[in-house]
Amino acid sequence: MTSLQVNDLTVRLGGREVLHAVDVAADHGELLAVVGPSGCGKTTLLRTIAGLVRAQSGEIRLGTRMVATHGLHLRPERRGIGWVPQDATLFPHLTVAQNIAFGAPRGARGRLRRGRADDPEIARLLSLVGLDGLADRMPSQLSGGQAQRVSLARALAARPTLVLLDEPFAALDPLLRHELREAVPRWLRTEGATAVLVTHDQEEALSLADRVAVLRGGRVLQQDAPEVVFGRPASAWVAGFVGDAVFLEATWHDSVVETAVGRIPAHWAERSPLEDSAAPAVGAAVRAMVRPEQVTLTPDAQGGATVRRVRFTGHSALVEVALDNGTLLRARVASPALTPVGSRVRPEIEGDALAYAAGGETLAAEGPGPA
């Protein structure tokens, strides 16, 4: 396996710019998650890395090997990339062993294609993905989760330089999705595989990846470790996309913001390529962001806020409160029984806020286009 480096990649399809000056990278053995809303260009990025789409400018490097740059477009079959599609796409007339053998290096394919269930490499891959004893089964005899495991084993049989995963868990039921989310990164690490996962699921990206690239409108807004993307999002839009966010109109006072809830310690966090990232002057209007987990609610008849809605989510509840001045807040609480609708509470903020440009977007509908 090897590393991936994508630099200044621009792709136009049908006269429309789908990717603009995209930079992403994954070191040897890393899992990079590319996350974004529908139509942001993430699947086009995956297809361009695979060689299925030709870029207008920029470069793609696999390890020390340049596979795409000005005047060079290496064919997909020469890039040595494994592909795991969303729907597994197994050959229905081949057994599990034969499907895996199809992905084997050309020199070994003649031997493996005969579907020998006792072939040591097929047995090793089946054991890796937890399908021991299923080599002779047909795809019609597999569950959705088993089919995706075979698809991954087939991709790994090619001993690829890179594994690309195109929303591989999207079509599975929640239990299987959770199971494979836990298992796939472990299998990739066992093989020492470098991988790129495309997903629209923020939780999936944050929980599985070594680094996360957030894509919007064909641009990478942030690429960082998952904890940085969630804890220090580069823009208000990223903050709202990767997790539940509470935004407050605020006034900037160096390391403090003045809000309807009071003064909160704050850090200037704006790093978006679409906004001015310079810290504002003292007294400037900004947008302060906290997570619902930071909002505490204390029952208090004189607390200055009223509970408007309680939405139970399983282990916790999301409580919406309205301050007396009309400002709305959301708090995540462990005991919703303490905050019934209509009760008076005193909201407070724990920890620091992040401050962003006052005019920046939080979430917006994306225009139609390739995913």
Residue 273 has pLDDT above 90, yes or no: no
Which of 50-59, 121-130, 276-285 shows the highest mean pLDDT? 50-59
> What would the pLDDT profile of 177-218 be if each residue is shown by its tens digit?
888 888 889 888 988 889 999 999 999 999 999 999 999 999
Domain 244-357 in the same topology as domain 4-231 = no
At 21, which amino acid appears?
Answer: A
Q: What is the CATH number of domain 4-231?
A: 3.40.50.300
**What region does 310 belong to: left with phi over 0, alpha with psi -120 to 50, or beta?**
beta
3-state class percentages of the chain: helix first, strand second, coil last, to nearest 5: 25, 35, 40
Q: What is the CATH number of domain 244-357?
A: 2.40.50.140
Q: Cα 33 to the chain's mean position, in Å?
A: 5
Ordered by start, the domain boundaries in the chain are: 4-231, 244-357
**What region does 185 belong to: left with phi over 0, alpha with psi -120 to 50, or beta?**
alpha
pTM (predicted TM-score): 0.88
Two tokens, residue 14? 């049908």
Work out the pLDDT band at 115, boundaries 50, 70, 90.
Answer: low
Q: What is the mean pLDDT of the chain?
A: 89
Q: CA 224, CA 361: separation in Å to the nearest integer?
A: 21
Work out the pLDDT band at 114, boundaries 50, 70, 90.
Answer: low
Q: Give backbone dihedrals phi and psi of 44, rounded to 5 degrees, phi first.
A: -60, -40
Q: CA 58, CA 160: separation in Å to the nearest integer?
A: 23
